[in-house]
Structure 1
């Protein structure tokens, strides 16, 4: 029986590469994006993969999230990947933090993954039970922060890591594995052209890590190569 995954923010970058990786592996893929009309890379895959379903979703619209979950109530999810993310301003430095943008980044990077986990918990519980994977970032690690700055994005991912840790404590007793994953520095709109790896390398690495997760990994922070990262 085919396995099923839900991936948010799947219109480009790592999210799109993850969708393709799971489609090519024969999974049933539910992929969300904010605007289907501008998600050419995703929509053209429908001609090749009948196992792809696309849904329009703003992850910060909690009512829309609940509506999507209700429309998928008969779906058993083996895997949920909270991939949708937002970097926010760059090069602003201490003394120039935009509080409004900070709130927006937190809404997308930290609050939305938890609300999505809550909404799709019944489907994940029915899956083997399932895996809940949240794309974090190494810059959210306290131990790795030796350069300062990046207040907005760093704090949103550090907070996401805390959410994952709590999810693990709450859901592992029911068999659901919760994990925070660092995709690497990827050549995407967010990562920029100087990044070290392409989105396909990241996605295939992440998939391999997810494929090999055990309950002992729940609540941990890993990179796309399977290395454990410090909080």
Structure 2
């Protein structure tokens, strides 16, 4: 498969690249600053030409367009993983919420729009937008995290619209929550190792069917309430 992954320089994105390469897929990785993506760059030579790295700042239309121009041929799977979370994320920090929304909600839409011609050239292409349980309105029982929660809830709605708009073309679009993961963003108190979360995501993505399009899943395959 030909897979495009954004936010691939660390955490979940980096592990997605590792696991897809390990099983023999080709990956085009997008990162905001390639020169600082040392761990990702170290995977290029062992991949035997199956990994390419390009700059992609999902908050900038010009960067996204240039990234799309660097992607050659049909794309079987797009994983919109790039995201951010500022802390503190409370009522006194709403200025940061605008930037979070720009990256987490609008960023995946920019990338998807730019790569649609390549997705349409593949048979049964899939779009997986990495969201969060914190984007579930149903599950918000603790409050706070305004910018992050709002941005992920918006991403969820955008993904549902994409699923409806692209259903007739056979493109499956889903929202995935990786869980609370041991990454820089998740912190050391998180219960789930990144390799475990990503292995679950890969297995779930492999099993997706057109009937799943527009759904919100956890990394273990459970459906999450919007």
Structure 1 length normalisation: TM-score?
0.95
Runs of 4 or more consecutive aligned structure 1 residues displaced over 4 Å after TM superposition = none
In the alignment, which of 208, 211, 214 is matched to residue 203 of structure 2?
208
- Contact conserved, 2:131 with 2:152, CA < 8 A, in 1? yes
Q: Which residue in 2 is equivalent to 1:155?
A: 150
Count of residues paired in the alignment:
225
Alignment of 1:79-90 (within 5 A): 79-90=77-88
CA distance in 2, matches of 1:153, 1:170: 26
CA distance in 2, matches of 1:38, 1:68: 17
Structure 1, unmatched stretches of 5+, are none
Q: Which residue in 1 is equivalent to 2:46?
A: 48
CA RMSD of aligned residues (A): 1.0
CA distance in 2, matches of 1:216, 1:227: 15
Q: Which residue in 1 is equivalent to 2:27?
A: 29
Q: Which residue in 1 is equivalent to 2:69?
A: 70
CA distance in 2, matches of 1:129, 1:114: 19
Deviations 1:126-147 (A, max 9, x none): 1113100000000100110011
CA distance in 1, matches of 2:119, 2:174: 14
Q: Which residue in 2 is equivalent to 1:178?
A: 173
Deviations 1:49-70 (A, max 9, x none): 1210011111111112112212
CA distance in 2, matches of 1:70, 1:189: 30
**Bigger mean CA offset, 77-86 vs 56-65:** 56-65
